[in-house]
């Protein structure tokens, strides 16, 4: 299984884990494919990410043990020097979702197409938060179709081919006036340009 920790790519902590039972046979522990172990420390009442042979490198989060440390929690990360210096409190999201799933803040997984679909699917409702599907850039002019995004790096020849395709829809609502004598027609219509 994969854990997505939210640490930098160079982090010393593993992202691939297998699971097994702990000594009590009641709880899982998770063994990284290389050097990391995710396990519960009973005396310290915390979940810990530990590196074999490195007491100076670990991450910890307080826990009552009743729940696994999945979802978004604030971890105290020590000695992950490739990502940050010293001790850092970091919001990490530990989950085992695959690429076709959205990971809820509580660590559970739902199908990615349920994200921002207007219905609550995550137990903690987080699939329906921050659903701003489009953030308008301050320079965006809605009346003017933009050029291709990478236009700035292009040769300025053949400008016409660098413009985005615009779909045009016209709904004729009514003919207000038709004057054959004056050669004049007045039409009420809806014009929709999309790109």
Q: Which is nearer to Ca ion, 11 or 103 (CB)?
A: 103
User: 43: which 2 tokens?
Assistant: 């005396």
Q: Counting contacts by CB under 5 A, is residue 114 touching Ca ion?
A: yes
Give the shortest CB-151-to-Ca ion separation in angstroms.
36
User: 169: which 2 tokens?
Assistant: 């829809």
Give the shortest CB-108-to-Ca ion separation in angstroms.
12
Distance CA 66, CA 88 (A): 25
Total residues binding Ca ion (CB under 5 A) = 5
Give the shortest CB-120-to-Ca ion separation in angstroms.
6
Q: Counting contacts by CB under 5 A, is residue 105 touching Ca ion?
A: no
Q: In terms of Cα–Cα distance, which of 104, 85, 81 is closest to 93?
A: 104
The set of residues, in sequence order, having a beta carbon less than 8 Å from that of 45 and lying 6+ positions away, is 62, 63, 64, 65
Give the shortest CB-85-to-Ca ion separation in angstroms.
39
Q: In terms of Cα–Cα distance, which of 87, 102, 82, 73 is closest to 5?
A: 73
Distance CA 173, CA 115 (A): 37
Task: Please list every residue from 116 through 145 that binds Ca ion, using CB under 5 A.
Answer: 117, 119, 121, 127
Q: Which is nearer to Ca ion, 23 or 119 (CB)?
A: 119
Contact set with Ca ion (CB under 5 A): 114, 117, 119, 121, 127
């Amino acid at each position: 299984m994969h854990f997505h920790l939210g640490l930098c790519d160079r982090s010393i902590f593993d992202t691939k884990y297998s699971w097994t039972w702990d000594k009590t046979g009641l709880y899982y522990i998770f063994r990284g494919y290389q050097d990391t172990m995710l396990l519960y420390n009973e005396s310290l009442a915390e979940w810990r990410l530990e590196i074999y042979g490195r007491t100076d490198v670990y991450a910890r989060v307080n826990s009552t043990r009743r729940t696994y440390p999945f979802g978004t929690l604030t971890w105290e990360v020590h000695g992950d020097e490739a990502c940050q210096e010293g001790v850092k409190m970091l919001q990490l999201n530990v989950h085992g979702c695959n690429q076709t799933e959205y990971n809820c803040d509580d660590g559970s997984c739902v199908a990615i197409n349920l994200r921002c679909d207007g219905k609550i699917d995550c137990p903690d409702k987080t699939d329906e938060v921050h659903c701003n599907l489009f953030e308008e850039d301050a320079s965006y002019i809605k009346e003017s179709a933009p050029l291709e995004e990478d236009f700035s790096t292009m040769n300025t020849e053949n400008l016409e081919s660098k413009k985005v395709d615009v779909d045009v829809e016209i709904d004729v609502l009514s003919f207000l006036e038709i004057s054959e004598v004056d050669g004049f027609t007045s039409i009420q219509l809806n014009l929709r340009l999309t790109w």
